[in-house]
């Protein structure tokens, strides 16, 4: 009954996050518990047949609660800072206070007062931070690294983020240049990632980062090394399937009721046994 209550908790969390950007639904895996053995198996001989074991199971246990990292639907939103990943991979962000690195699938970013690309919680998106695409750091969208032929007083008039993560900046004098590039990471075992809230994952090393990129950290450009591409002006929705969650809720509820009935029946049998002396 406790395990089916946990299953209901998992389903409830999935349904609660049906509108959470980049959320990945979870499922609970069950396995039978250790069985009591009253008689072991005996190998047959020339004069006797084999004997089958006699075992009684002791219940059920949970083996894992796994996130399902399937692709969520991508919807168009408009703002250039809204980024969706089409395919495998995670954005890499950094806490400016502790310098801790986190992974996320949620691309609802914004520009802060210093023109850095950040999450809603202020964590800074990582990638190549210079126009030469050689130095890793915060993604900043400004006029730094402009061509020598550009007007030094020209301001940023517009910018765009390509499917390969490159940030193209257009200045007020008409000149254009690549300001930086968003890098991403993928993992051999994403279920080893630890959810930290706010759409962030930690325990990156435990998840086995596939560090085959050209960046010092091993991060790769979108569209390379099995990583998906970036869709600018769009967001990845939650991959929660409401129909599947509600059907799973019915099954979990009925299983809970059935186990509760077992307790009631066992109590009635014990009552009959106690009343035998009357």
Q: With contact defined as beta carbons under 8 Å apart, do 204 and 101 qualify? A: yes
How sure is the predictor about 216, in pLDDT bands with cuts at 50, 70 and 90?
A: confident
For residues 151 and 235, give the distance between their C-alpha atoms in angstroms, rounded to a whole number.
35
User: Which run of H or of E encompasses 158?
Assistant: strand 156-161
Which residue bears the tokens 């691309």?
A: 107
DSSP alpha helix (H) spans, the chain:
2-16, 242-274
82 dihedral zone (left: phi>0; alpha: psi -120 to 50; beta) = beta
Q: Any idea what the Cα angle at residue 29 is, between residues 24 and 33, rounded to 5°? A: 160
pLDDT digits (tens, 9 = 90+) for 5-46: 999 999 999 999 999 999 999 999 999 998 999 999 999 888
pTM of structure = 0.87
Q: Let me know: does 233 contact 77? Beta carbons within 8 Å.
A: yes
Q: What angle do CA 165, 208, 100 make, to 5 degrees?
A: 65
Write the DSSP symbol of residue 203. Answer: -
Phi, psi for residue 50 in degrees, rounded to 5: -70, 155
Mind listing the pLDDT tens digit for each residue in 183-199? Answer: 999 999 999 999 999 99
What number of other Cβ atoms are within 10 A of residue 27's Cβ?
16
Taking a C-beta distance cutoff of 8 angstroms, is the pair 127, 139 a contact? yes
Locus of tokens 């168009």: 76
Of 100, 122, 97, 98, nearest in space to 109 by CA: 122
Please state the domain extents for the chain. 2-35+57-69+240-277, 74-236
Q: How far apart are CA 96 and CA 100, in angstroms?
A: 8
Count of CB atoms within 10 A of residue 1's CB? 14
**pLDDT tens per residue across span 73-131:** 999 999 999 999 999 999 999 999 999 999 999 999 999 999 999 999 999 999 999 99
Give the model confidence (pLDDT) of 225-240 as tens digits. Answer: 999 999 999 999 999 9
């Amino acid at each position: 009954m406790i395990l089916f209550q946990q299953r209901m908790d998992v389903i409830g969390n999935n349904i609660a996050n049906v509108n959470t950007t980049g959320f990945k639904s979870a499922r609970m895996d069950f396995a039978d518990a250790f069985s009591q053995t009253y008689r072991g198996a005996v190998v047959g001989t020339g004069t006797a047949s084999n004997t089958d074991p006699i075992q009684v199971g002791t219940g059920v246990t949970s083996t894992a609660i796994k996130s399902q990292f399937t692709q969520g639907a991508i919807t168009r939103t408009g703002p250039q800072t809204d980024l969706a990943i089409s395919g495998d991979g995670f954005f890499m962000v950094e806490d400016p206070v502790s310098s801790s690195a986190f992974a996320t699938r949620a691309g609802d970013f914004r520009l802060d007062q210093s023109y850095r690309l950040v999450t809603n919680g202020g964590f800074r998106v990582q990638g190549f931070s210079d126009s030469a695409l050689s130095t890793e750091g915060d993604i900043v969208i400004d006029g730094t690294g402009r061509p020598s032929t550009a007007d030094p007083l020209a301001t940023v008039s517009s910018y765009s983020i390509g499917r390969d993560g490159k940030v193209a900046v257009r200045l007020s004098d008409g000149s254009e240049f690549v300001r930086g590039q968003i890098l991403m990471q993928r993992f051999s075992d994403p279920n080893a990632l630890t959810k930290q809230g706010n759409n962030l994952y930690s325990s990156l090393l435990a998840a086995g980062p596939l560090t085959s990129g050209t960046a010092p950290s091993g991060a790769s450009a979108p569209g390379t090394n099995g990583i998906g591409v970036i869709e600018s002006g769009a967001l990845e929705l939650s991959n929660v399937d409401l129909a599947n969650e509600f059907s799973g809720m019915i099954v979990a509820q009925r299983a809970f009721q059935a186990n509760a009935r077992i307790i009631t029946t066992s109590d009635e049998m014990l009552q009959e046994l106690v009343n035998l002396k009357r």
